[in-house]
Chains A and B, each alone.
Chain A
Amino acid sequence: MYIIVAGAGKVGYYLTKALRAAGQEVTLIEKLRKRYELLHETFGDSVILGDACEVSTLEAAGAARADLIAAVTGDDEDNLVICQMAKRKFKVKRVIARINNPKNEVTFNLLGIDETVSSTKLIYSLIEQEVEVADVIPITALRRGHLELVEVALTAASPAANRRVRDLALPPNCALAILVRGETSEVIINGDTVLLPGDLIVAVTPASCVQALSDVLLGGGVPAR
């Protein structure tokens, strides 16, 4: 397969390296001479100097026989134009555009570039998952690992939310110690404390009961770490 990578920043560089290691024929296009010269030492004639938005550069890179072009510069506008030129002028079968501003994904689709990759969005969705998925996070082990101090964030879906602590069937030897509510409020938990979604609970539990505690506070199916 013949692949053209446009833009030799970090993404373009490592992508080219990986593709070459996988035995693919790759040409890398870089606009800046200094960067090009540096990369020439690594990639030899597989890297060419030029603006990938220009027809002549794409021609020189052999776009007409390319199976795929990946536009991975740091500029969304440039990536759009590279992909459109490749698709329409050179009939490249597959084009992939890197997107920096996630807002542009819809625009790219609207303008005929369907395959986009947004690292911003990818990382965001990972973090979002992390934030939304309730979890038991170990803080520290006490008494040589027999007891653990853990942190549990309640969500609206947690079975312990909106319930009094005394009404919970906590595993033996588990104690809910403190809860942090909002930015500032810290509460010593007693039996009458009503737990609320968003509460951050610090609990003490035997290491063997972490999963059981998680089941009571967050519901079954949430694996404790």
Chain B
Amino acid sequence: MHVVILGCGRVGATLATKLVAEGHTVAVIDRESESFRRLGHGFPGKTVLGIGIDEDVLRKAGIERAGGFVAATNGDNTNIMSAQIVKVKFRVPRVIARIYDPLRAEAYQELGIDTMSTTLIGAGICRDFILGVPYHTIEEYQSGASGASSAPRLQRPAGAVPERSR
């Protein structure tokens, strides 16, 4: 499978080297050439310099024949926007966006964009480890079912929108 990865940070680079080692073809996009150093010497995949919300850049990375797309820049909104472009315009079957803000992740999950909130997952794993309880599934961490959704805003009842005092 051809996979396009946006953002050559730690997650992007690690994932890229993993996938090529498993025999997949990979193209990594980043707006700074310096980031590609994380891929190490002799990375057999493609590197594309550019911004991930630019369709020409995505095409250069082979998005039209890609089976998967991962948006893992450190900007939530860049990830959200590029994931939507890839899903809606290029119809890549498996698209995921890494989103730090749990509420934004939740909102876009509702909109049909697969999101991965490393914030919720990380917090959930830490909680389970500290409390010495069995680990939960990723879905449980992300939905807050593990009790780890300590982000207090998630518990606010829907519709409780405060009228602005003026």
Contacts and interface: CB of A to CB of B under 8 A. Distances in A.
Interface of A: 27, 45, 53-56, 59-65, 75-78, 80-81, 84-85, 88-90, 103-104, 107, 110-111
Nearest to A59: B161
Interface in B73-87: 75-78, 80-81, 84-85
A64 B166 CA distance: 16
B53 interface: yes
A81 B164 contact: no
Given A54-B101, A62-B164, A84-B111, 13 more contacts: A54-B104, A60-B164, A76-B53, A77-B77, A80-B77, A81-B76, A81-B81, A85-B107, A107-B85, A107-B89, A110-B85, A110-B89, A111-B84
By secondary structure, the A interface counts as: helix
Contacts, number: 69
Interface of B: 53-55, 75-78, 80-81, 84-85, 88-89, 101, 103-104, 107, 110-111, 153, 161-164, 166
Contact of B80 (A27, A55, A60, A77): A77
11 contacts: A27-B164, A53-B76, A54-B104, A55-B107, A55-B153, A59-B162, A60-B162, A62-B163, A77-B80, A81-B77, A85-B104
A103 B54 contact: yes
A64 B88 CA distance: 27
Nearest to A2: B164
Contacts of B166: 45
A61 to B, nearest CB: 7
A55 B77 contact: no
B149 to A, nearest CB: 14
**A45, A89, A107 pick with most chain B CB within 10 angstroms:** A107
Contacts of A63: 161
Contacts of A111: 81, 84-85, 88
Given A75-B77, A84-B111, A107-B53, A61 B88 contact: no
Contacts of B77: 53, 75, 77-78, 80-81
